[in-house]
Amino acid sequence: MHHRFQQLQEFVNSLEDDFRKFYEKGVMSAGTRLRKKMQELRKLAQEIRVEIQQIKQEKKGAKKTESAGE
């Protein structure tokens, strides 16, 4: 499995405690931490999206090069 997926899973799993504290116990400071972590999740997701697009472009470019060389 790709390390990015594992990184994403671990990050999401790290949110569980603060989700419980905020939603089940009403701990406001947990809500603040969650908001910050959700922003980090958004940043991580964007990094992964950019990486995916770069890989797709590289593979697309490689196919064009192979086709031109034939």
Q: pLDDT band at residue 62, thresholds of 50, 70 and 90?
A: confident
3-state secondary structure of 64: helix
Torsion sign over Cα 14, 42, 40, 26: negative
Q: 60: which DSSP letter?
A: H
Torsion sign over Cα 49, 51, 57, 60: negative
The tokens describing 9, both together, are 């899973």
The pLDDT tens digits of the residues spanning 8-50 come to 999 999 999 999 999 999 999 999 999 999 999 999 999 999 9
